[in-house]
């Protein structure tokens, strides 16, 4: 029977099923690097403060470094009976160096230890998410630059609305991802407080130096309240929220890639490497990667809702319920990184069908607003202009024609002062180029947007 570090209070052994049911080592052992880094800093502080002897501190440090090597080389044996990553490492340390290993846990608890490990893990995951977002943004920028002259219909209510540049459309997703990146940075900033030294909930009566440990572990400062330190999972929740918003944006892009690659749209060709075929229909090219990203969005939402539900009714401070924070966080982190990688490669390899997009942009009366604006420019109130153009569109619908099919004589039936400029406004190319302002879809405006973000990324 494995001896429990907390076994002094108990006469009988833990039930075998209970050991397995309550153990977290099967999933939290991925925290081993952070757990050992935290223990090394804690040990050095204990030695520095003369809470343990310098010789004991040296032996602990050496033992922990050997354990790290053993884990990374696959020589470490994990024991479910020891519950979690912390107790597995501590027990192995004591086996290696004897009673000195038992002193490592002086002035700390698993409660502040696990909070530290998760914060360190999530700081790295926030950085990794930012880099993965950068890669997808690079793919979008490359597509936008490469296909700067491609015109497509923009949509509202999934109805053709106004012509826009394909590049402008892609840059909309760039901006969403830029906000996502900022959220992960903010999350990392708010989590940059070091909880170790808070003990189980009340702190410790040993003369510890929490600022020293915080500095060693690259935290800005120690946490300010020991109770909050061990009961707080806001950093996990905020990370899951950041992941969920990011997945919302990826899912919207996924939906459009699915639509655009369909025969009904035929706007884009997805790279073969990111699609699959049908087991029965030889002609099929299925957009599996976008569909899976769209589907995995619900999974990440579930991770957030799961932890929100766990935390919503917990009294202070630590409760065993909080062990349920790790699997949702790990799952979301892995899922987000996988989705970003898949989309970065897919976007790099996809190709727009420019002629199909342009033909679609010329349909659906997408320059009707341009005609209304033309009338407004000649002194007609917008609401009156809107009504006039609505009547023009109605006539075209009934006759099965598009805006560019209008003649000047027909326009003069609705507005006698119409001239060649009115006809020019009906061209989708003219419509796009007229919107030359910050945030507009004109080629010059989009190129300026791309240039600005390229320069910003170069500086950073």
Q: Which residues are the active-site residues? A: 157, 278
- The answer to whether the beta carbons of residues 323 and 110 sit under 8 Å apart is no
Question: Got the DSSP string for 196-221?
Answer: TT-TTTT--SS---HHHHHHHTT-SE
Alpha-carbon distance 190 to 82, whole Å? 32
In a 10 Å sphere around its CB, with 0-12 CB exposed, 13-18 middle and 19+ buried, how is residue 434 labelled? middle
Beta strand ranges found along 66-158 (DSSP E): 151-156
> Alpha carbon of 365 to those of 153, 212, 404, 410: distances in Å?
10, 67, 9, 16
Q: Enter the tokens of residue 396.
A: 């075209």
- The answer to whether the beta carbons of residues 115 and 156 sit under 8 Å apart is no
Alpha-carbon distance 73 to 61, whole Å? 19
- The answer to whether the beta carbons of residues 147 and 353 sit under 8 Å apart is no
| 184: nearest Cα among 124, 135, 232, 141 | 124
Q: What is the DSSP letter of 224?
A: S
Q: Regarding beta strands 351-352 and 268-269, do their DSSP bridges make them parallel or antiparallel, or are they unpaired?
A: antiparallel
Q: Enter the tokens of residue 40.
A: 């090394």
Peptide linkage before 114 cis (omega within 30 of 0): no
């Amino acid at each position: 029977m494995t001896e429990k570090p907390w076994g002094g209070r108990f006469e009988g052994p833990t039930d075998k099923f209970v050991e397995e049911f309550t153990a977290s080592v099967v999933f939290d052992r991925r925290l081993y690097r952070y757990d050992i880094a935290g223990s090394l800093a804690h040990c050095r502080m204990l030695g520095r403060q003369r809470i343990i002897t310098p010789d004991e501190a040296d032996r602990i440090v050496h033992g922990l470094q050997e354990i790290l090597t053993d884990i990374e080389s696959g020589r470490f044996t994990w024991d479910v009976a020891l519950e979690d990553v912390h107790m597995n490492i501590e027990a192995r340390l004591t086996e290696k160096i004897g009673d000195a290993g038992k002193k490592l846990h002086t002035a700390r608890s698993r409660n502040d230890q696990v909070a530290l490990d998760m914060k360190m893990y999530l700081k790295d995951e926030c950085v990794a998410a930012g880099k993965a977002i950068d890669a997808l943004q690079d793919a979008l920028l490359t597509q936008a630059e490469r296909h700067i002259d491609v015109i497509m219909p923009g949509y509202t209510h999934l109805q053709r609305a106004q012509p826009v540049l394909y590049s402008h459309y892609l840059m909309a997703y760039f901006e969403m991802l830029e906000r996502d990146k900022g959220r992960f940075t903010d999350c990392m900033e708010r989590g940059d407080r070091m909880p170790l030294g808070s003990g189980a909930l009340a702190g410790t009566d040993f003369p510890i130096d929490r600022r020293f440990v915080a500095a060693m572990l690259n935290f800005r400062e120690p946490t300010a309240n020991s109770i909050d330190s061990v009961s707080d999972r806001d950093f996990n929740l905020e990370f899951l929220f950041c992941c969920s918003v990011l997945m919302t944006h990826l899912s919207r892009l996924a939906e459009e890639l699915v639509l655009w690659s369909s025969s009904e749209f035929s706007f884009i060709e997805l790279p073969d490497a990111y699609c699959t075929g049908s087991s029965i229909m030889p002609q099929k090219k299925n957009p599996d990667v976008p569909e899976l990203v769209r589907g995995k969005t619900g999974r990440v939402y579930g991770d957030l809702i799961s932890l929100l539900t766990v935390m919503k009714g917990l009294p202070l401070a630590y409760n065993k319920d909080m062990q349920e924070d790790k699997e949702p966080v790990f799952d979301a982190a892995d899922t987000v990184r996988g989705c970003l990688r898949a989309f970065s490669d897919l976007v790099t390899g996809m190709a727009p069908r420019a002629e199909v997009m342009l033909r679609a942009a010329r349909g659906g009366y997408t320059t009707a607003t341009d005609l209304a604006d033309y009338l407004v420019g000649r002194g007609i109130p917008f609401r009156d202009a809107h009504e006039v153009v609505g009547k023009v569109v109605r006539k075209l619908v009934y006759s099965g024609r598009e805006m560019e099919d209008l003649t000047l004589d027909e326009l003069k039936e609705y507005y006698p002062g119409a001239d060649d400029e009115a006809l020019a406004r009906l061209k989708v190319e003219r419509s796009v180029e007229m919107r030359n302002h910050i945030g507009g879809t004109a080629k010059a405006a989009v190129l300026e947007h791309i240039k600005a973000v390229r320069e910003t990324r170069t500086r950073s």
